[in-house]
């Protein structure tokens, strides 16, 4: 999960990621926005990613495998925001080792 982070996602803004469900169905989503959450700071990493999909293919809320060469394969929870917008939210304690 370390590679799925704010900086890496900002670098690939506008690029496509592959989304796969547990039955092997795949669809591409585009990274549309990446923004820091209110908890983001020294102790916590917090950010959200907005993905854009296709109008003719709705994706329901759930856990999916996201794939991109920048972060590899990651299992993430995805929530729909509209018929074409989806969001992942990450909030995790930062490592205390420097």
Instruction: Tell me which residue has tokens 């591409």.
Output: 28
Q: Per-domain residue ranges for the chain?
A: 6-93
Tell me the mean pLDDT in the region 15-30.
95
Longest Cα–Cα distance of the chain, Å, equals: 46
Q: What is the pLDDT of residue 80?
A: 97
Run of H or E residues at 47: strand 44-52
pLDDT level of residue 1 (50, 70, 90 thresholds): low
Paired sense of beta strands 44-52 and 72-80, if any: unpaired
Question: What residues contact 65, with CB distance under 8 A and at least 6 apart?
Answer: 19, 20, 21, 73, 74, 75
Q: What is the pLDDT of residue 97?
A: 53
Predicted confidence (pLDDT) per residue in 32-90, tens digit: 999 998 888 888 999 999 999 999 999 999 999 999 999 999 999 999 999 999 999 99
Q: What is the pLDDT of residue 98?
A: 46
Residue 14 is encoded by which pair of tokens? 């506008």
Is the pLDDT at 12 greater than 90? The verdict is yes
Total H helices, total E strands in the chain: 1, 6
């Amino acid at each position: 999960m370390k590679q799925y982070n704010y900086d890496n996602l900002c670098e690939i803004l506008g690029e496509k990621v592959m989304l796969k469900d547990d039955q092997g169905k795949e669809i591409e989503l585009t990274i549309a926005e990446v923004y820091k959450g209110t908890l983001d700071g020294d102790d916590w990493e917090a950010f959200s990613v907005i993905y854009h999909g296709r109008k003719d293919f709705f994706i329901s809320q759930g856990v999916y495998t996201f794939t991109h060469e920048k972060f590899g394969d990651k299992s993430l929870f995805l929530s729909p925001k509209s018929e074409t917008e989806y969001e992942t939210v990450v909030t995790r304690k930062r490592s205390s080792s420097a």
